[in-house]
Structure 1
Amino acid sequence: SKARMLFIGHPPLKPTEDALFDQPEDYLAPPEFRNALLKAVKKHNIDLVFSANLSLYSETQLGDTSFITTGGAGGLVMNDETSFYHYVQVNVSPEGEISHTLQRLEVGQHPILKRLESLWFFIYSLFYAGYLNFLIIVAIFAAIAIKLYAIIFVGKDYYPDYNLDPTPWLEKPIRVAMFTNNYLPFIGGVPISIARLRRGLEDLGDKLLVVAPRYKDQPEAEEHVLRIPSLLAMGEKREFRLANIFLGRIRKRVRAFHPDIIHLHHPFWLGSLGLFIARRLNVPAIYTYHTRLEHYAHFVPLPGLIFRNLISHTLIKRFANKCDGVIVPTYSTEEYLRMIGVKTPTFVQPTGIEYKRFQAVSDADIAALRTTLNLKDEIVFISVSRLSNEKNIDFMIDAINTLRQETSKPFHFLMIGEGHQKDRLQNKIHELGLDTLVTLVGAVPPEDIAVWYRLGDAFVFASKSETQGMVILEAMAAGLPVVAVRSSGIDDVVRHGVNGFKTPERQDQWCTQVKRLLEDDELRGKLSRQALAFAKDFSVEQFATDVREIYATALALSNKKSRKQRET
């Protein structure tokens, strides 16, 4: 016969159909050899060239030669239009005429069994196709086996360790080193919270060391504070400080203090240094989640969406999981931490307020302040917040502008706080013609703030960046009912219809509730009394006592882990 056929293992031509899982090494190589072979095929007038190694059927005509790829070395047959069971029937006539036909096999198995069989042949082929594939398969099966063993045979206790006994640590003074990126005289929720906790713990007999940035107007003598000079100062009044965490004297001072526990108030910079020192000194590290970082993207020199949706949550998750305990002020913030993957033991502990101080304000002091501000008999709305984007001040100003058009009852809005948005907000107030209704008070010294709260008749708030909203509790301690935009830190504190109202971030609904408090004296009085009673449970004394128990629990857990390590 004059028929000429060539059988080779690897296809010399790439098929027109997509081959599943094909790799460059599945084809005839090297290119020089392939090209030489194709020239020989043409020179010797080869009729058919058969190749395999791919789990499909493909036919390509090149000149007078048909190149047929058929079957595969036990590959994954998908039983579709490209990859299916088949054979090729070749007919050669006595005159040397050659022809071929594709014969598709209808395998009578259930489709699922077909796929399983094909998958088995595919896996089987990997074992004899090369050592690398064999090692990869063994590694995969080993990893699966280890994972299954850990899931099935390794017992896990997801409940707290109720056998811990914190009593030995509660019966003696605890030495606490705190690390914070801002502190007094900088006015903000975090510095004030830290200062109150420090005073409360010292009253209980504990020893405190606060590691914080240095400020221009800081007190001259501070036995309990280690001030760190700044590498960089930012903000309109250089109020945001980037402390020099590379100074060796920080570590020396903290080591000389001999802390029993280290309390971190920020998940970066000085907070990171504090965590590092805690690990070096082998003492527990407790982190208080104060701030929703995703709402501070405008302060970060990165694309806003990347920081807000990725970096902020990842930063908090990684930092919290490196600590021995996390304090959160509300159950909603605890739920947030669980959702982003925090597995560290979490303690819900609301921040304390100086409740008695708000009750000590005299009527004479309130009357004097009202006279100073030239206020008559109008209802006074109070808000306390930094004048910054994340605090949503524009929302309240726009709502106040709407409110004045819907009511005839006189009122005045006092916005207490400083910030880089003050000039812009003042211009907006002027443009809307609200100069006689809205006053940007500026910063008020902490020792005077209670009088300003007591001056008010109701407290309004629109920030969505709070983890608790300490100013809301302070307002309630002054007997002010609250209207606030609903958010994670607000939801647990404001009881709708009991001590105030919480609304979605919609000006019409927010403005409606503010109007109710403005015009309904009886409702305002009822909610005022209930707000005062609610705030009574959040005293600084109770706050310090509860945090001290958290410290003792963390120390007991750390001691238990150390004993286990020594035993093993």
Structure 2
Amino acid sequence: MNILMFTNTYRPIVGGVSESVQRLKTRLQTEGHQVLVVAPKLEGQPRHEPDVIRVAAVQHFNGSDFSLPVPIPGQLYEAIEAFEPDIVHSHHPFLLGDTAARAAETYGLPLIFTHHTLYEHYTHYVPGSSPRMQRFAVALSTEYTKLCDAVIAPSDSVRELLLQRGANEAIHVVPSGVDTRRFSRGDGRWLRRRLGLDREAFVVGHVGRLAREKNLPFLAEAVTRLLITAPKAHFLIVGDGDARLAMHEAAASAGVADRFHFTGKLHDQALIDAYHAMDVFAFASHSETQGMVLVEAMAAGLPVVAIEAPGVREVVESGENGYLLVGNDAQALASALHNLEDKDHRDLLREGALKTARAFDEGCCAARCIEVYRRAIAAGGPISHADQDAWERVRGRLGAEWQLLRHRGRVLRSVFQDEPMRGLIERSDEPEEPEAFRK
């Protein structure tokens, strides 16, 4: 099968979506499928990427680590036609997600969309963030699902949320996979030695972007409370971002800054070894659709203490592989971590963590993704362009623009449904597709 993927984030960006796309691509290729990824140009990207097409992008959008792709669809069609895709898989509902919809409509291919992110938690990266912008983010992703033949949700929680929002009902739950065998093989002793931590130290760990939406000031407060009462406890933080300063200040104000250890970004075996330098994993984000780092931590044999949130509740089970807590209660989180200072207690939860991780192995997840592809192909795409002459191509592209125009109209109606402008943009019925665009 030839699979064409579109993503706004890709290597060298470190983050859940970027890692998920890379891992899925690699696993599908291992299984014998051909994958072509369309991604933005980024500083530090690999020089040789035979299976990746890069498009122009604005770097460090609004001061973030993200780029803003500026796709020029016309430049992509030659490469797409040479690849001869069987299906299009979009990993975002905007920017290159729009280009994915154009490609699928133009060539009469099924369009699959993975709803990786709760976008309303990320509007602070956009100038003028407001409740209206959050409504826009929800409407944009929800309405995008209606352009697709099938939608992939990383967890049951996200599937239920999408259905509540009125999304396309053809939703399949397929978690982002993890190479559990690889993450089970690590040696954290070198990192402990580098940080001056002995074997008796109790190391609480966290991995991820140190970003505002990850609820990290709260996590720092909770771990600080633990460190005040547990002199052998340390906090190992892997990753980087704007929240690092706030975390350090919380530790400094409590007099435990010397036991907060920031490693910066780690990759490959160094990242796996960092997990194995930890005794327990702490997580407080409310914005996850799955929390891939939770599975990575469990594959390394770590119990997890996390705050209940969509996606997280499908991974963490209190008393089995860690503790799942309700709400931002810093003392409750500190107490749960303190309970796991006992090694015998950790060992009991370790077996549950390893068992949970096996259910998220990337081989199983890739097989489920392929099944979604096959069903969509069997059902047929939105249009059939079996005779790809010049007129068919033009009609397909015009049809794609028409579908995107209708999509944006539905988004605007959702955003302004309670606003004075509603009457200017709302119509009793959507305009019908022009006859010339139809097959």
TM-score between the two structures when normalised by the length of structure 1: 0.65
Match of 1:388 in 2: 211
Match of 1:398 in 2: 221
In the alignment, the residues of structure 2 paired with residue 318 and residue 521 of structure 1 have an alpha-carbon distance, to the nearest angstrom, of 49
**Which letter maps to 1:474?**
E
Match of 1:521 in 2: 343
Quick one: structure 1 residues 230 and 344, their matched pair in 2 at CA, closer, same or farther if it must change by over 3 Å? same
Does the aligned pair in 2 maintain the 1:261–1:285 contact within 8 Å? yes
Shift of 1:197: 0.5
Indicate whether 1:183 and 2:10 are aligned: yes
Q: Deviations over 1:195-217 (max 9, x none)?
A: 11011100111111100011221
In the alignment, the residues of structure 1 paired with residue 358 and residue 108 of structure 2 have an alpha-carbon distance, to the nearest angstrom, of 38
Structure 1 residue ranges (4+ consecutive) displaced by more than 3 angstroms after TM superposition:
559-563
Does the aligned pair in 2 maintain the 1:484–1:503 contact within 8 Å? yes
- 1:370-385 to 2 correspondences below 5 Å: 370-376=192-198, 377-385=200-208
* Identity score, percent: 35
Quick one: structure 1 residues 386 and 408, their matched pair in 2 at CA, closer, same or farther if it must change by over 3 Å? closer
Q: Deviations over 1:27-66 (max 9, x none)?
A: xxxxxxxxxxxxxxxxxxxxxxxxxxxxxxxxxxxxxxxx
In the alignment, the residues of structure 2 paired with residue 560 and residue 244 of structure 1 have an alpha-carbon distance, to the nearest angstrom, of 26
Indicate whether 1:334 and 2:159 are aligned: yes
Shift of 1:456: 0.8
SS class of match (1:306): helix
In the alignment, the residues of structure 2 paired with residue 452 and residue 402 of structure 1 have an alpha-carbon distance, to the nearest angstrom, of 23
Q: Which has the larger radius of gyration?
A: 1
Structure 2 residue corresponding to 1:313, chosen from 138, 142, 148: 138
In the alignment, the residues of structure 1 paired with residue 27 and residue 360 of structure 2 have an alpha-carbon distance, to the nearest angstrom, of 13
Q: Deviations over 1:211-253 (max 9, x none)?
A: 00112211111110001121453265x6311122125212322
Match of 2:414 in 1: none
In the alignment, the residues of structure 1 paired with residue 298 and residue 335 of structure 2 have an alpha-carbon distance, to the nearest angstrom, of 20
TM-score between the two structures when normalised by the length of structure 2: 0.84
Does the aligned pair in 2 maintain the 1:260–1:283 contact within 8 Å? yes
Match of 1:530 in 2: 352
Quick one: structure 1 residues 447 and 212, their matched pair in 2 at CA, closer, same or farther if it must change by over 3 Å? farther
In the alignment, the residues of structure 2 paired with residue 347 and residue 489 of structure 1 have an alpha-carbon distance, to the nearest angstrom, of 14
Gaps of 5+ in 1: 1-173
Match of 2:412 in 1: none
In the alignment, the residues of structure 2 paired with residue 271 and residue 371 of structure 1 have an alpha-carbon distance, to the nearest angstrom, of 45
Shift of 1:258: 1.4
SS class of match (2:222): helix
**Which letter maps to 2:335?**
T
Q: Deviations over 1:440-496 (max 9, x none)?
A: 221111342111111111000000000000000000000000000000111111111
Quick one: structure 1 residues 560 and 193, their matched pair in 2 at CA, closer, same or farther if it must change by over 3 Å? closer
Match of 1:229 in 2: 56
In the alignment, the residues of structure 2 paired with residue 333 and residue 475 of structure 1 have an alpha-carbon distance, to the nearest angstrom, of 21
Shift of 1:562: 5.7
Match of 1:446 in 2: 268
SS class of match (2:320): coil
Does the aligned pair in 2 maintain the 1:176–1:259 contact within 8 Å? yes
**Which letter maps to 1:492?**
E
Aligned CA RMSD, in angstroms, stands at 1.9
SS class of match (2:360): coil
Shift of 1:354: 1.0
**Which letter maps to 1:274?**
A
SS class of match (1:182): coil
In the alignment, the residues of structure 2 paired with residue 490 and residue 538 of structure 1 have an alpha-carbon distance, to the nearest angstrom, of 13
In the alignment, the residues of structure 2 paired with residue 219 and residue 402 of structure 1 have an alpha-carbon distance, to the nearest angstrom, of 42
Greater relative contact order (Cα < 8 A, sep 6+): 2
Quick one: structure 1 residues 408 and 318, their matched pair in 2 at CA, closer, same or farther if it must change by over 3 Å? closer
**Which letter maps to 1:358?**
F
**Which letter maps to 2:372?**
I
Q: Deviations over 1:386-415 (max 9, x none)?
A: 11110011011111222233x345111111
- 1:82-481 to 2 correspondences below 5 Å: 174-234=1-61, 236=63, 239-246=65-72, 248-308=74-134, 310-361=135-186, 365-376=187-198, 377-405=200-228, 407-481=229-303
SS class of match (1:448): helix
Shift of 1:185: 0.9
SS class of match (2:336): helix
In the alignment, the residues of structure 2 paired with residue 472 and residue 536 of structure 1 have an alpha-carbon distance, to the nearest angstrom, of 12
Between the two proteins, the alignment pairs up a number of residues equal to 384
Match of 1:496 in 2: 318
Quick one: structure 1 residues 285 and 560, their matched pair in 2 at CA, closer, same or farther if it must change by over 3 Å? closer
Gaps of 5+ in 2: 386-438
In the alignment, the residues of structure 1 paired with residue 230 and residue 252 of structure 2 have an alpha-carbon distance, to the nearest angstrom, of 21
